[in-house]
A = this chain, B = another copy of it.
Amino acid sequence: MPLNGERAFEVMQREGVDTLIASSTENVYYVSNYWSLGKKLGCGVQAYAVLPIKGAPAVVAPIDEADLVLDSQTWIDDIRFHGSSKVDFSRPEEPFEQTELLLKLYEGAKPEADGATALIKALEEKGLTEGVIALDASGLTPSLYEQIKSKLPGAKLVDGASLLREIRLVKTESEVERIKRATAITEKSMEDALEIARSEITELDLAGMYAHSVTYDGGHVTQNLIGFRERSAFPNPVPSLFEAERRDLVRMTFGCTWDHYHSNISRTAVIGRPLQKVQRRWEAVMSAQDAALDAVEPGAKIGDVCGAALKALEDADVKGFSGGVGHGLGVECNERPWIEKDAEGELLEGMVVNIDIPVLELGWGGTQLEDTILVTSDGFELLTRTDRTLYLL
């Protein structure tokens, strides 16, 4: 399961939080293993996971996602349902095992009218309506947030979304495994796309090959940005029918999910031999990423990791670069820690972080190198395995 339980309780205790309530698809999944499809598709579905510091946790799901709760093999026993069912569950004669389990869920369910009601009832029955409740609002509309708040007059509500981001900072082994798998799919698919790169091909051709290869491996495409020549300097080059010529720069940012965990990688290629300026730019990008990586170890100040990269870019006379050089990666593609100059806090063993150096010069071109690392006890492990090189096609 994704949840880092030990860390969750440590953080809750430190912050004086009695009960944590997850509400976004990602956070409910993180806490409980259950992924709400209806919520992700934006059908107005409500789903929650309740994690108290004392007592048993609970999951709240729409009754017609009972099969998804079952499939999730959630570690949480107390499952509360809401909404009405479209299923006939009059007992058949010899159901097979999975159906038997699902029938039990349906037969035992006393669904509440809606998710918020089911959530409040769970809190009431567990004696969790008072004390400090960290409510994750990232999966709530403002009106739903107000509705829940008004039903908890005895509680002190604090920000559950940031608490979950804090907990999620340090990954479990099973999270790292998923990120590794997503990364492997992304890298293989990028190399499949590069196989077909040559003059006269379009950005869309490459993007199609990437998506094709990810899909073939069972991943889900999340990012597929490809820019040729001057378009390589665009921050978000959505693939177009623009055709490559010899000597063009090709800047690529790719991502996918595997089992709801993200990968994210950027590479730069040249069709043919690189111009001298391209070579110089690439050396600047490499040196900046190397400088950041050299600074990575448990206890390193995050601001220093960013600072090392920025200094290398400055030394190489790169202009226009501001902001951070990376971000955490997990059940969300962009999550803490943000690798920024002014960031507080330190790197911790078990963090998964992208070190991302985009150098974009409008009217000339863009080069970018983005890799994923796991912070280990004595430094880091590179989770991306493809060459950190300027690809010559």
0 or 1 for each of A102-143: is its CB under 8 Å from B? (1 = yes): 110010000000000000000000000000000001101111
CB distance from A268 to the nearest CB of B (A): 15
Contact residues of A between 196 and 254, Cβ < 8 Å to B = 204, 208, 211-212, 215-216, 218, 220-223, 230-231, 233-238
Residues in B neighbouring A230, C-beta threshold 8 A: 95-96, 98-99
Q: Say yes or no for A44: interface residue by CB 8 A criterion.
A: yes
Q: Which residue of B lies closest to A332 (CB)?
A: B42
CB distance from A291 to the nearest CB of B (A): 18
Q: Which residue of B lies closest to A41 (CB)?
A: B333
Contact across chains for B88 and A41 when beta carbons are under 8 A apart: no
Q: Say yes or no for A89: interface residue by CB 8 A criterion.
A: yes
Residues in B neighbouring A222, C-beta threshold 8 A: 41
Contact of A92 among B90, B143, B358, B363 (CB under 8 A): B363
Contact across chains for A90 and B211 when beta carbons are under 8 A apart: no
Name, among A37, A67, A106, A237, the residue most crowded by chain B CB atoms within 10 Å (CB to CB). Answer: A67
Q: For the complex, what is the distance from the CA of A146 to the CA of B321, rounded to whole Å? A: 33
Copies in the assembly, this chain = 2
Residues in B neighbouring A221, C-beta threshold 8 A: 215, 220
Contact of A363 among B99, B204, B212 (CB under 8 A): B99
CB distance from A166 to the nearest CB of B (A): 16
Contact across chains for A87 and B333 when beta carbons are under 8 A apart: no
Q: Say yes or no for A172: interface residue by CB 8 A criterion.
A: no
Contact A86:B142 (CB < 8 A) given known A215-B208, A216-B212, A236-B37: no
CB distance from A279 to the nearest CB of B (A): 18
Q: Say yes or no for A55: interface residue by CB 8 A criterion.
A: no
Contact A67:B364 (CB < 8 A) given known A42-B332, A95-B230, A358-B86: no
Contact of A88 among B44, B99, B146, B362 (CB under 8 A): B362
Contact of A235 among B65, B137, B333 (CB under 8 A): B65
